[in-house]
Amino acid sequence: MHLLNRRRLLKNFTLGAAGLWVPGAFAEALTLTPRQTEGPFYPVNLPLDTDNDLIVLNDGLTPALGEITHFSGKVTDVKGAPIRNAVVEIWQVDHHGVYIHEGSDGVEKRDKNFQGFGRFLTGSTGEYYFRTIKPVRYPGRTPHIHVAVKMKGHKKWTTQCYIKGEKQNDTDGVIRGIKDEKQRASVIVDFLPLPGVKTGELAARFDIVMGYTPEA
């Protein structure tokens, strides 16, 4: 029953994600989301559970540590047209700052209840949704979530998403490598309290603008 309820929750949230946010009118070409380094910690061995809920593994009862975050967005072209059948992947450190990658520092303290990696296939609206945790720092980097988009006929495309207002953003070498100010701003988003939820959960909206059309 727990697993059934969790799947129903994820399905309902996904279907309603567009209703939580009011998209702007696409009066002109959108800012392309900058491509960024994948980094050394893309999982070598993927977890058995690769769904879009990173908080609970399979039908487990113990949630991961951290601030629960509903991480969603839309994959579009520069004119705002949704891109469907794109596989969106995310991966990030757990609450202790440890990746699921065997080469990550501090593997002995890794939160074994955190999935660390997830996938979502966009539908006709281009929307994606994950339930994860608010990213935390690890040595040398500001908090971030790695995001990759995979589409048939295209190479895997990777970027990173950051927390607006995080002080370490100003000195992070990867962010500073984005020279265009609009592109830099496009990957730094608000992580805000989820409206109507009293458990302290957050929501973050990260729209991804690709440099090719849905038909390409």
Which DSSP helix (H) or strand (E) runs through 119? Answer: strand 117-121
The CATH number given to whatever domain includes residue 142 is: 2.60.130.10
Examine residue 122 and state whether it is found in any structural domain, yes or no.
Answer: yes
Render each residue's pLDDT in the chain as its tens digit; 216 residues.
444 445 455 555 554 554 444 444 444 689 999 999 999 999 988 888 999 999 999 888 899 999 999 999 999 999 999 999 999 999 999 999 999 998 999 889 999 999 999 999 999 999 999 999 999 999 899 999 999 999 999 999 999 999 999 999 999 999 999 999 999 999 999 999 998 877 889 999 999 999 977 765
Residue 53 in domain: yes
What does the alpha-carbon distance between residue 27 and residue 78 come to, in Å, rounded to a whole number? Answer: 11
> Do the beta carbons of residue 5 and residue 52 sit within 8 Å?
no
In a domain, 186, yes or no: yes
Angle at 50 between CA 44 and CA 51, to 5 degrees: 160
The angle formed by the CA atoms of residues 103, 57 and 109, to the nearest 5 degrees, is 40
pLDDT attached to residue 216: 59
Q: Which pLDDT score is estimated for 215?
A: 66
pLDDT of residue 75: 98
Domain count, the chain: 1
Model pLDDT, residue 12: 54
d(CA 54, CA 102): 18
- Host H or E run for residue 159: strand 157-163
pLDDT value for 13? 56
Task: For residue 60, give the DSSP letter.
Answer: -
Which residue range is the domain that position 29 belongs to? 2-209
- For residue 47, is it within any domain? yes
In a domain, 216, yes or no: no
